A and B are shown apart, each in its own frame.
Chain A
Amino acid sequence: MLRDLKASVIAGVIFTVVLGLAIPALFTGFAQVAFNSQANGSLIKENGVVVGSRLAAQAFTKPQYFHERPSATSPAYNAAATTFSNLGPTNPALTKAVQQNITAVLKLEGPYNSGLTVHGIPVDAVTTSGSGIDPEISEAYAQLQAHRVAAVRHLPLTTVQQLISENTEGRSLGFFGEAGVNVLELNLALDKLGGNS
């Protein structure tokens, strides 16, 4: 018993120092040198100011921007307190949230997409993501928003659609996962193009 305890204390110190401090410190040093951008959070800088991360959704409310998926974090798109909505599949609160999102999308996109009904809204536009900071939207949702963004920015629709396809990340190695459009990168590309209303 006492022998085991003594051995446990010694092993505990060794494991904590080696696995908990030394190896993570060395690995962090390697990471900072070999993959500096990724290691620091894939941050995007404009004129030296951090405007966001390639890997985190941020709030877009203005009509000239593509909008993200709904977020359950508090405040929305809080990349320092991620969370699911945890609303079960039969929860009346889910019905309410989805209906509110549908109304908002119809109001925002309806004027630019003639004949838009609820059946034309892709499911990712009205559901929260798992992280609350899903940086991507489906291509379907991007296509829906393209009409509005093009009109507000007085750009040809084809130009906006071209930017969508340039900022679409396909399946990894053409096979794994699903394709999606990175909203922050797409909006940055739009701003670079000018045509800000």
Chain B
Amino acid sequence: MGQGIAQIAVYAIVLVLLAYPLGQYMARVYTKPRFGWRWLGAIERLFYRAVGTDPEQEQDWKSYAKTVLVFSVFFFLVVYGIQRLQAHLFLNPNHYPGVPAHLALNTAASFITNTNWQYYGGESTMSYLTQMTALAVQQFVSAGVGMAVLAAVIRGIARRSSGTLGNFWVDLYRSLVYIFLPLSLILAVVLLSQGDPQTFGATVNAHTLEGAVQQIARGPVALMLAIKQLGTNGGGFYNSNSAVPFENPNGLTNFLEVIAILLIPAGQVFMFGKMVLAKRHAAMVLASMLVLFVVGVSIAFPAEQHGSQVLRASGVNITHSSLQSGGNMNDKEVRFGIANTALWATATTDASNGSVDGGHDAFTAFGGMVPLVNIFFGEVVFGGVGTGLYGMFFYIVIAVFIAGLMVGRTPEWLGKKIEAREIKYAAVGALFVPTMVLTLTAISIATKLGMASIFNPAAHGFTETLYAYTSQSNNNGSAFAGFGLTNFSADFGAVAMLLGRFTPMLAALALGGALGKKKITPASAGTFRTDGPTFVILLVGVILLTAGLMIFPALTLGPIVEGLTH
């Protein structure tokens, strides 16, 4: 296990070292009136002219939200349409038929909300055109929307007595062109060099050594993989996602892909610190995230290494040695072993990524509980691009409110008084989705239609359902993948993804708008300090006490009963 722990430790260190400079860079992207070389600026202005916006013209929170919603609804129709029509369009060398209506609906909701829940097997369902123009475009764009909204909310926190938060088109364009595109191209080249395909050539028939015919699916994989990881998307080209060697060929690509999951989310915390001129406060927010990350991986790794009850009872050798990684290797790949699969499962659910390099459904009870709880927290441990940090803002507001009650002063956050209005927005932002998860799970588990999706028996089947609605409502996209597609689960999931995306997003914009209008009051002796270790304890405590307590009863019906009775 020592080498595995070393790999995880190196991961955390490299992540923070890369995230810091990226955060500084991203802060410049969102604050400089003119960014980059002159020719880049010329292209940028061309885009603004095309969409008919004046980049100097800022929007208030309502106008910003309206543009986001119209933009997202439009793309929802595009993604749905391309899937339905793919049989009649080009770049379909394997001649796949149109995607069925309910599945296309679920997938459209999945990709415009940055969820990337996959009720389909990519390599056997989607044409190359669909993968590229419907799905991968959304992997850029929906990630860009998340970052844009975050930039707007942060401006609200930073500004004083201001009615506006920024211009959506500027924030979106800059997210895409100056952040996601360059990082994706760099990562894609490395992945390509290691074995990720990038071709328009069709599936190949190989004639195996024993004389059989084997089909090998290929396609434009490498570029999609890069943005899938960097934009906390998670929707793979292949059904088994990054467990497939064509998505993730070796230990190096695995390391880079799992770094890519949390790189921008960790960077955005530093960006926040720079934009609001509160680097120490941002460092404490980052520390809170690191605490929760370490707790997660410290449970998942040993649980998986210990192996499942079935494997221990069978008598096969599950002991870690120099010749094998041992442990619960069911649905895991040899080149990743236990440590890297547990690390990935933790990271992908700390963020709203949802890609996997091993099957979560086959995880042990407590190993699989870690990703489930991470998602239920709202993916605020680094979190999704944009969405994660504004999700954390809700908890921060609640934390300073509670601290304010304890010391008997008006709560303040970065010089802004937190009053009834802000608390309401934060409460909606933090509590709406967990409430929806429990409601949807209850309905699904209480109806025949819902139960039809369950694959594994007993408590594990309940966990599958809970995981499915936790993942979709929080826009994660990872799955206990035995949970099956029915018309009911497709439509129900689509509702979960859409409400789970846009309700907290509107709450965040409203919070940013409300804070932007406020004056900044200088800190006094009675102000609760948000830049020290006490704040870390408070923030982690608030997360555990709100979301943690909400999911605990459900956990007792699923992973806890499964883990304790076997």
Contacts and interface: CB of A to CB of B under 8 A. Distances in A.
Q: Which of A8, A72, A85 has the most CB of B within 10 A?
A: A8
A22 B173 CA distance: 17
A43 B251 contact: no
B245 A133 contact: yes
A59 B208 contact: yes
Contacts of A92: 457
B71 A118 contact: no
Interface string A132-157: 11111111110100000000000000
B207 A50 contact: yes
Interface residues of A, number: 107
Given A80-B217, A91-B457, A91-B460, A127 B208 contact: no
Interface string B323-346: 111111111111111001100000
Q: Which of A31, A54, A136 has the most CB of B within 10 A?
A: A31
A98 B223 contact: no
Contacts of B486: none
A80 to B, nearest CB: 4
Contact of A169 (B200, B244, B335, B566): B335
A158 interface: no
B1 interface: no
B460 A88 contact: yes
B324 A123 contact: yes
A89 B461 CA distance: 11
Interface stretch (B279-287, B358-366, B506-514, B534-542): B358-366
Given A39-B199, A178-B340, A99 B335 contact: no
B315 interface: yes
B195 A55 contact: yes
B426 interface: no
B325 A83 contact: no
Interface in A18-45: 19-21, 23-24, 27-28, 31-32, 34-35, 38-43
A98 B310 CA distance: 8
Given A23-B223, A128-B330, A178-B336, A78 B215 contact: yes
A81 B123 contact: yes
B216 A16 contact: no
Interface string A52-69: 111110111110010001
Nearest to B46: A14
Nearest to B63: A4
Contact of B132 (A20, A56, A134): A20
B70 A130 contact: no
Interface stretch (B50-58, B290-298, B398-406, B544-552): B50-58
A118 B323 CA distance: 17
A85 B199 contact: no
B320 to A, nearest CB: 10
B476 interface: no
Contacts of A51: 206-209
A57 B359 CA distance: 18
A1 to B, nearest CB: 7
A126 interface: yes
B456 interface: yes
Given A50-B206, A86-B455, A130-B243, A39 B7 contact: no
Contact of B51 (A10, A118, A129, A132): A10
Contact of A35 (B192, B253, B361, B459): B192
Nearest to A170: B251
B185 A131 contact: no
A177 B181 CA distance: 27
Nearest to B226: A27
B523 interface: no
B442 to A, nearest CB: 21
Contacts of A102: 314-316
Contacts of A6: 52
Interface stretch (B103-111, B134-142, B371-379, B407-415): B134-142
A116 B467 CA distance: 41
Interface in B1-32: 6-7, 10
A121 interface: yes
Contacts of A118: 314-316
Contacts of B141: 15, 19
B162 interface: no
Given A82-B123, A123-B318, A128-B331, A10 B50 contact: yes
Interface of A: 1, 3-12, 14-16, 19-21, 23-24, 27-28, 31-32, 34-35, 38-43, 49-56, 58-62, 65, 69, 72, 77-92, 94-95, 98-99, 102, 117-141, 143, 169, 171-173, 175-178, 180, 184, 187-188, 191
29 contacts: A7-B67, A8-B75, A11-B172, A24-B136, A24-B223, A40-B218, A41-B204, A50-B206, A53-B216, A60-B209, A72-B331, A80-B216, A81-B121, A81-B123, A82-B239, A83-B121, A84-B358, A102-B316, A120-B317, A121-B316, A121-B317, A122-B324, A122-B326, A123-B327, A130-B243, A131-B240, A138-B334, A171-B251, A172-B253
7 closest A-B pairs (Cβ-Cβ)?
A177-B251, A130-B243, A84-B359, A89-B308, A20-B133, A86-B482, A172-B252
Given A58-B214, A176-B250, A178-B340, 6 more contacts: A7-B53, A16-B133, A80-B123, A81-B217, A83-B239, A86-B361
